Homo-oligomer: A and B are copies of this chain.
Amino acid sequence: MSEIKTIVVNRSAYADNDLEAESLRSYLKEKGTFLVNLMSSPGSGKTTTLTRLINELKKDYRIGVMEADIDSDVDAISIAKNTGVKSIQIHTSGMCHLDAGMTKSGLDNINIEDLDLVFLENVGNLVCPAEFDTGATLDIMILSIAEGDDKPLKYPLVFEKCDLVIINKIDAIDYFNFDFERCERDIKMRNPNATIIKISAKTGQNINDVCKYFRNKIQNWKEN
């Protein structure tokens, strides 16, 4: 198991988070590091999904992971153990989200010089993380079917902000009343450009579709 570096970040001093986020995006472009901000509720399967994705994508990219959490190190340890990639834990000092300045602190600590792709696992929360641009190149979220198909109505902002919505735990569909059609319609109502991919991180079903999505996005980003 890799040794896990844990850093503690505090609320940024920057008055204008949007400006700071744009500046971070330019910096990442210059460095050639693609940053993915991953948002979801607690327990939607972020860490399991990341583990699956990284074990596929690490053949093609040098990957790093920044795990944001209020207090524990369990995710960074799990990622390092199960993928072998560079992983750090960011403690948010009780904060319920990351902003661009906090993200930049994380990136400075993971050292992006030798990384093509960095995943930021934001704090498990459907409300606050959506309000703060982290400076990521791509925003994605995971909704598990166990959470219910009404979430796009109840937490509209996070669905509006995401380029990709992953619907997870589809292997457990027999246990939950989840109307995919309703859910997808409500996501598209909020965000007509969102891509939606249904997966089971547990069984690996459709993980390749998500990998293909990332490969295309990274290729387009490099070319533009």
A71 and chain B: residue at smallest CB distance? B156
Choose one: B96, B146, B154, B172; the contact of A74 (CB below 8 Å): B154
Chain B nearest CB from A169 CB (Å) reads 7
Is A126's CB within 8 Å of the partner chain B? Answer: yes
Q: Is A188 an interface residue (CB 8 A)?
A: no
A78 to chain B, nearest CB (A): 9
Q: How many copies does the complex hold?
A: 2
A132 to chain B, nearest CB (A): 12
Q: A157–B151 Cα gap in the complex (Å)?
A: 24
Q: Which residue of B lies closest to A175 (CB)?
A: B172
Residues of B within 8 A of A18 (CB): none
Does A4 reach chain B (CB closer than 8 Å)? Answer: no
| 8 Å CB interface, A94-128 against B | 94, 96, 123-128
> Is B151 a contact of A43 with CB atoms below 8 Å?
yes
**Which residues of A163-183 have CB atoms within 8 Å of chain B's CB atoms?**
169, 171-172, 175-176
A73 to B, closest residue via Cβ: B153
Whether B175 and A42, one on each chain, are in contact in the complex, defined by CB atoms closer than 8 angstroms, is no
Q: Which 3 A/B pairs are nearest by Cβ-Cβ distance?
A: A43-B147, A146-B146, A96-B127
- Interface residues, chain A, CB within 8 Å of chain B? 41-44, 69-72, 74-75, 94, 96, 123-128, 131, 144, 146-148, 150-151, 153-157, 169, 171-172, 175-176
Beyond known contacts A146-B172, A169-B175: 5 more, CB 8 A cutoff: A41-B41, A43-B148, A72-B150, A72-B153, A96-B127
